[in-house]
Structure 1
Amino acid sequence: MGAPDQERRQLREAVQRQPSDFIAWVMLADAELEAGDVARGAAAATQALQLRDDHPEALARLGRARWMQGQPGDAAVLLRRAAEQVPQHPGIALWLGHALEDAGQPEAAADAYRHAHRLLPGEPYITAQLLNWQRRLCDWRDLDRLSALVRRAVAQGQAVVEPFAFLSEDASATEQLTCARQRAAAIGTDLPALPPTTVRDHGRLRVGFLSNGFGAHPTGLLTVALFEQLALADRLDLHLFALNGDDGSDIRVRLQAAASVLHEVGGQP
Structure 2
Amino acid sequence: MPSVNLLMRRAQARLRIGHFREAADLYREVLSQDLPAQDTARVRTALGNVSKILGELQVAAKCYEQALTLCPDDVTARYNLAVTLQAMNHSDAAEAQYHSVLKRNPDHVKAWNNLGNLRQEQHQWSKALECFDAALNRQPGYCDALVNKGNALRRMGDHEAAIACLRQALNQAPHSAETCFGLALTLQDAGQPELARDYFLRAHALAPDNDRFLVQALHHLAGLCDWTEMERLNARLETLGTTGQAAPPFSTLALEDHPARQKQRSMAHVQQSIGHPAPALPARGGSEDRKLRIGYVSADFRDHAAAHLLTGTLAAHDKSRFTLFAYALTGCTDAMRDKVSAHFDRFHDISGLSDAQAAALAREDGLDIAIDLMGYTRHNRAALFSRRLAPTQIAWLGYPGTTGARYIDYVIADGTVLPPDRQDSFSEAVISLPHSYFPSDRNRPISDDPQTRAEHSLPENAFVFCCFNNSYKICPRVFAIWMRLLSRTPGSVLWLLRTSERAERNLRHTTRAHGVDDTRLVFADRMPNPQHLARHRLADLFLDTFAYNAHTTAVDALWAGLPVLTRIGDQFSARVAASVLTAAGLPEMITTSDADYESLALALATDPDKLRAIRDRLASNRLTCPLFDTTAHTRYLEGAYTQAHARRAADLPAESFQIPAASPEGKTPD
CA 1:236–1:54 in 2, change beyond 3 Å: closer, same or farther? same
CA drift at 1:111:
2.0
Distance 1:172 1:93 in 2: 30
Aligned partner (choices 332, 340, 348) of residue 263 of structure 1: 348
Partner of 1:140: 227
Aligned counterpart, 1:194:
280
**Pick aligned residue for 1:25 from 86, 90, 112:** 112
What is the one-letter code of the residue matched to 1:7? Answer: A
1:163 counterpart residue number: 249
Report the RMSD for the aligned CA atoms in angstroms: 2.6
Pick aligned residue for 1:244 from 293, 316, 330: 330
How far apart in 2 are the matches of 1:67 and 1:193? Answer: 33
SS in 1 for 2:327: strand
Letter in 2 for 1:255: V
The within-5 A match list for 1:50-69 is 50-69=137-156
Counterparts of 1:143-222 in structure 2, within 5 Å, are 143-154=230-241, 156-158=242-244, 160-184=246-270, 189-198=275-284, 201-222=288-309
Change (3 A) 1:254 1:192: same
Distance 1:183 1:58 in 2: 25
**1:126 corresponds to 2:213:** yes
Instruction: Classify the secondary structure of the residue corresponding to 1:142.
Output: helix
**What is the letter of the counterpart of residue 324 of structure 2?**
L
Structure 1 residues 40-49 or 179-188, which shifts more? Answer: 179-188
Cα deviation digits, residues 90-138 of structure 1 (max 9, x gap): 2222222222222222222222221111111111111110000000011
Aligned to 1:6: 93
- Evaluate the alpha carbon distance shift between residue 119 and residue 237 of structure 1 in structure 2; reply closer, same or farther with a 3 A threshold: same
How many residues of Structure 1 are paired with residues of Structure 2 in the alignment? 266
Contact 1:150-1:161 at 8 Å conserved across structures: no
**Is 125-134 or 172-181 further displaced after alignment?**
172-181
Contact 2:211 2:245 survives alignment (8 Å) = no
Task: Give the corresponding residue for 2:168.
Answer: 81
CA distance in 1, matches of 2:114, 2:272: 24
8 Å Cα contact 2:175-2:206 kept in structure 1: yes
Report the residue type matching 2:161 in the other structure.
Answer: D
**For the residues of structure 2 that align with 1:79 and 1:190, how far apart are their CA atoms?**
32
The offset of 1:233, in angstroms, is 5.9
Q: What SS class does the counterpart of residue 227 from structure 2 fall into?
A: coil
Provide closer, same or farther for how the CA distance between residues 203 and 157 of structure 1 changes in structure 2, counting only shifts above 3 A.
Answer: farther
Once the two structures are TM-superposed, the CA of residue 16 in structure 1 deviates from its matched residue by 2.8
Residues 104 and 221 of structure 1: CA distance in aligned 2, closer, same or farther (over 3 Å):
farther
Q: 1:93-108 to 2 correspondence within 5 Å?
A: 93-108=180-195
Q: State the alpha-carbon separation in 2 of the partners of residues 191 and 112 from structure 1.
A: 35
Q: Distance in 2 between matches of 1:267 and 1:23?
A: 25
What does residue 130 of structure 2 align with? 43
Q: What is the identity, as a one-letter code, of the residue corresponding to 1:267?
A: G
Match for residue 665 of structure 2?
none
CA contact (8 A) 1:124 1:149 kept: no
CA contact (8 A) 1:69 1:267 kept: no
Deviations 1:213-261 (A, max 9, x none): 221123323322332222x56432111111111331x321221111122
Specify whether residues 162 and 93 from structure 1 end up closer, same or farther in structure 2 by C-alpha distance, changes over 3 A only: same
The answer to whether the Cα contact below 8 Å between 1:66 and 1:75 also exists between their aligned partners in 2 is yes
Q: Is the 8 Å Cα contact of residues 63 and 79 (structure 1) preserved in structure 2?
A: yes
| 2:348 counterpart SS class | strand
Q: Who is 1:223 aligned against?
A: 310
Tell me if the contact between 2:221 and 2:229 (Cα under 8 Å) persists in the aligned partners: no
> Using the alignment, how far apart are the partners of 1:124 and 1:31 within structure 2?
23
Amino acid of the structure 2 residue aligned with 1:117: H
Cα deviation 1:128-159 (Å, max 9, x = unaligned): 100000000111233134334233124x4457
Per the TM alignment, residue 72 of structure 1 is displaced from its structure 2 partner at its CA by 3.3
Contact 2:123/2:352 (<8 A) preserved: no
Pick from 112, 115, 119: which aligns with 2:202? 115
- Residue 207 of structure 1: how far off its partner (Å): 0.8
Aligned equivalent of 1:235: 321
CA contact (8 A) 1:73 1:100 kept: no
Instruction: Tell me, yes or no, if the aligned pair for 1:147 and 1:169 is still in contact at 8 Å.
Output: no
- Contact 1:124 1:150 (C-alpha < 8 Å) held by counterparts: no
What TM-score, normalized to structure 1?
0.85
Runs (4 or more) in structure 1 with deviation over 6 Å come to none
- Whether the 8 Å contact between 2:200 and 2:213 is mirrored in structure 1 is yes
TM-score by length of 2: 0.37
Q: Which protein has the larger Cα radius of gyration, Structure 1 or Structure 2?
A: 2
SS in 2 for 1:26: helix
Answer 1 or 2: which has greater helix percent. 1
Is the Cα–Cα contact under 8 Å of residues 41 and 65 in structure 1 kept in the other structure? yes
Letter in 2 for 1:90: A
Alignment correspondent of 2:46: none
Q: 2:220 corresponds to which letter in structure 1?
A: W
Shift of 1:187: 5.5
